[in-house]
Amino acid sequence: MILLKITSKDANQRVDKYVKKYLNEAPLSFIYKLFRKKDVKINKHWVKENYILQEGDELSIYVSDQQLQDFNKPKEVTKSDLKHPIIYEDDNILIVNKPRGLLVHGDENEKVVTLSNEVINYLYFKGEYNPNDKGFTPAPAHRLDRNTSGLVVFAKNLISLQELEELFKNKENIEKEYLALVKGKIDHKMEIDAPLLKDENSGTVRISKNGKTALTIVNKFKNYGDFSLVKVVILTGRTHQIRVHLASINHPVIGDAKYGDFKLNKEFKDLYGFENQFLHAHCLSFGKLSGHLSYLSNKKFTCDLPVSEQKVLAKLKN
């Protein structure tokens, strides 16, 4: 049996999430079997998996010594500085400028080289994370596609993560703005209201009346001949939302290999040596906040376009 005392930094989360992190190598089927068999108790009383941990709780997990050895393993980390620009950092959050081509989270093909792992290595290097501590692991509060560059916010503690996730979920008092170079000239503000449906087999997204509500605001920024650099704000967070919506109005993102103009993408490669997706999360704005992160109220964080994108714009201008 394992007996654990819940501290303030581990409180206010579901008990099943905590048990998953503690038995980090255990399959989900094993975790939920523990709850079905009433092998997880709080203060000597059996609880369901949705119980919210409180500071001072005593958590008992009934597993054998061998199961503990097999399923409780420290996360592999290496002390290293962060090679990507840090836009802002304090005791609660870290805002990083993610390069294009790097995953935020791991997937079935890549689990090691991710921004999340690099941030954890960095915080270990600083002494702000201990891989042997089975409590909270610093985590991103939202995602960016692999081939989208720009701002990603990480939480260093549970309460910050919960507040950030709630902000991103409700889309209130927080706004992400993207810069995108698109085909064609855009001279006025546009609102794209078209539901999106994801095909889980192909990983692609399309507009469909059976999809989820999706709303995108496109604002004119600068025109470069037959191309436009636009500022985009999404009021819903659907997969590939910006790319699909812009393609649907015949203004696809330059370099978009899934939804873009493939002939035009080849021209950009031949003429400018550019074969990437021109989409960058360049601005994050907080509104009036309450709670733990209230000190971030009305703050705004930005990061410049990557150098390769800046070079393309310079060539288009000339």
* pLDDT value of position 201: 86
C-alpha distances out from residue 99 to 45, 96, 103, 145, 280, Å: 48, 9, 9, 11, 9
**Poorest-confidence range of 35-39, 64-68, 243-247?**
64-68
pTM: 0.84
Please give the Cα distance from 124 to 176 (Å, whole number): 28
Please give the Cα distance from 124 to 151 (Å, whole number): 21
256-268 residue pLDDT tens: 999 999 999 999 9
Mean pLDDT over 197-211 rounds to 92
* pLDDT value of position 92: 96
Please give the mean pLDDT across all residues of the chain.
Answer: 92
Stronger pLDDT, 207 or 137, i.e. the higher one: 207
If pLDDT is split at 50, 70 and 90, which confidence band does 132 have? confident
Asked if the domains at 2-71 and 171-318 fall in one CATH topology, the answer is no
Handedness of CA 254, 169, 306, 219 (dihedral sign): positive
For residue 171, give every residue at least 6 positions away whose Cβ sits within 8 Å of its Cβ, in sequence order, or none: 235, 236, 237
Which of 39, 145, 261, 270 is catalytic? The answer is: 145
For residue 54, how many other CB atoms are within 10 A of its CB? 13
What is the token pair recorded at 183? 């085909």
Q: Measuring CA to CA, which residue among 204, 151, 205, 148 is closest to residue 180? A: 148
If one looks up domain 2-71 in CATH, what number appears? 3.10.290.10
DSSP-assigned states of every residue in the chain? -EEEE--TTT-SSBHHHHHHHHTTTS-HHHHHHHHHTT-EEETTEE--TTPBP-TT-EEEE---HHHHHHH------------SPEEEE-SSEEEEEEPTT-BSS--SS-SSSBHHHHHHHHHHHHTS--TT--S---EESS---TT-EEEEEEESSHHHHHHHHHHHHHT-SEEEEEEEEEES---S-EEEE--EEE-TTT--EEE-TTSB--EEEEEEEEEETTEEEEEEEESS--TTHHHHHHHHTT-PBTT-TTTS-HHHHHHHHHHHS--S--EEEEEEEE-S--GGGGGGTT-EEE-PPPHHHHHHHHHHH-
Architecture of the 171-318 domain: 2-Layer Sandwich (3.30)
For residue 52, how many other CB atoms are within 10 A of its CB? 11
76-118 residue pLDDT tens: 788 999 999 999 999 999 999 999 999 998 766 555 689 999 9
| Structural domain boundaries in the chain | 2-71, 75-170, 171-318
Q: Using H for helix, E for strand and C for coil, what is the string for 103-124?
A: ECCCCCCCCCCEHHHHHHHHHH
- 75-170: in CATH 3.30.2350.10: yes
What is the token pair recorded at 157? 């503690």
Task: Respond yes or no: is residue 145 known to be catalytic.
Answer: yes
* pLDDT value of position 50: 94
